[in-house]
Amino acid sequence: MDIPFSAWHDAIPRRRSIRDYAARAVETADLEAMRRVCAEFRPFASARSVLVADPTEDIFRGIPGGYGKVSGAPALVAFVGDMRSPDVQEAVGYTGEGIILEATALGLATCWVGGFFSPRRAAAIASVAPNERVLAVTPLGYPKEGSSLKERAMSRFGRNWQRRPLSELVSGLGETQWPGWVRAALEAARLAPSAMNRQPWRFRVDRDTITISADSILNPTMVVSKRLDCGIAMLHIEIGALTSGVRGRWELLKSPQVARFRVAVESR
């Protein structure tokens, strides 16, 4: 499917990580819309999304004290990767973020969950193949009215209101030389979610290209791949470029680089 870039671009600043959900089922029209986008948004052969209605709550776990645990979600989406692919992490990040932005555009609440869930339970309900693994999930539903103590605590814990300035993230072509599409793409990427808001991406701007790499900062406590986070930022870059009328293609690269977005000839 083509990226509905206008709707997804509008959803980027509206997306929030929600862990407490209202005790009501997802409306049939919304559920069918999500089922459709899960089936049709398959930009990479190594990544797919599986909608699961009525999941049991024991799939979600929290850190000690209960913080981080999802409660009351009436549905979820499992993001499944083919582990035989060397690019599986970025493929799942890119694909999963498309599903999350579509949910946001529909008025549904979501939350990237990469560590606080049971992989065994998720694999069972998503019916994964032997070569596949559920790398992340998102609950799906309507937010519980009001802001709970848990949401406020996790917001502080993840420092999710802080975003690094582009001056700390970008190298290559000087900012005064950026064409409009580059600025739009990087501003969109800057707002991408990441595990604990670590923002591991780095961008290099050259003529007609943006290259994304993962930083080299080590954190052995993190179970979510930085390349998955970078895959999320990849989609934001493409959405930002598309809103500026620029189309391009991705070239997947070896670590520590992740991928390079190159402007299509017809967009020049």
Query: 28: exposed, middle or buried (C-beta count within 10 Å: 0-12, 13-18, 19+)?
Result: exposed
Q: What is the pTM of this model?
A: 0.92
Separation CA 165–CA 95 (nearest Å) = 26
Q: For residue 87, count other CB atoms closer than 10 A to its CB.
A: 22
What is the token pair recorded at 139?
């609950």
pLDDT for residue 228? 97
Distance in angstroms (rounded) separating the CA atoms of residues 196 and 55: 25
Average pLDDT of span 20-49:
96
Evaluate if residue 75 carries a pLDDT over 70. yes
The CATH number, out of the four listed (3.30.1120.10, 3.40.50.300, 3.55.50.30, 3.40.109.30), of the domain defined by the range 166-267: 3.40.109.30
Report d(CA 58, CA 71) in Å as an integer. Answer: 10
Residue with tokens 């050259």: 206
Q: Per residue in 233-251, pLDDT tens?
A: 999 999 999 999 999 999 9
Every domain range in the chain assigned CATH 3.40.109.10 = 5-155
> What is the pLDDT at residue 162?
85
Match 């791949």 to its residue by tokens: 225
Please report the pLDDT score of residue 222 as a whole number: 66
Q: Where are the alpha helices (DSSP H) in 85-145?
A: 88-105, 119-126
Per cent of the chain over pLDDT 70 is 89
In the chain the first and final C-alpha atoms are separated, in Å, by 24
Give the model's pLDDT for residue 86. Answer: 96
Q: Please report where in the chains the tokens 């000690």 appear, as a residue.
A: 64
Residue 171 tokens read as 């190298």
3-32 confidence digits (pLDDT tens):
999 999 999 999 999 999 998 999 999 999
Question: Mean of the pLDDT values across residues 35-57?
Answer: 93
**Predicted pLDDT of residue 221:** 57
Characterize 198-224 residue by residue with b for buried, 16 or more Cβ atoms within 10 angstroms of its Cβ, and e for exposed.
Answer: bbbbbbbbeebbbbbbbeeeeeeebeb
Q: For residue 128, count other CB atoms closer than 10 A to its CB.
A: 20
Q: In whole angstroms, give the CA distance from residue 92 to residue 43.
A: 10
Helices 88-105 and 226-243 pack at an angle, to 10 degrees, of 50
Range list for CATH 3.40.109.30 in the chain: 166-267
Which secondary structure element, helix H or strand E, spans residue 132, and what is its range?
strand 132-140
pLDDT of residue 155: 47
Ramachandran angles phi, psi of 15, nearest 5°: -65, 135
pLDDT at 257 (0 to 100) = 96
pLDDT of residue 217: 76
Burial tier of 91 (Cβ tally within 10 Å: 0-12, 13-18, 19+): buried
Q: How confident is the model at residue 181 (pLDDT cuts 50, 70, 90)?
A: very high
Q: With 80 as the cut, is the pLDDT of residue 158 above it?
A: no
CB 117 within 8 A of CB 59: yes
Secondary structure element (H or E) that encloses residue 214, with its range = strand 209-214
Question: What is the pairing mode between strands 257-263 and 201-206?
Answer: unpaired
> What CATH homologous superfamily does 5-155 map to?
NADH Oxidase (3.40.109.10)
pLDDT (tens digit per residue) in 205-224: 998 999 999 998 766 556 78
Mean predicted lDDT score pLDDT of the chain: 90
Q: How many CA atoms lie within 13 A of 61 on its CB side?
A: 12
**Is a pLDDT exceeding 70 seen at residue 80?**
yes
The answer, yes or no, to whether residue 101 has pLDDT greater than 60, is: yes
Task: Give 64's pLDDT tier (boundaries 50, 70, 90).
Answer: very low
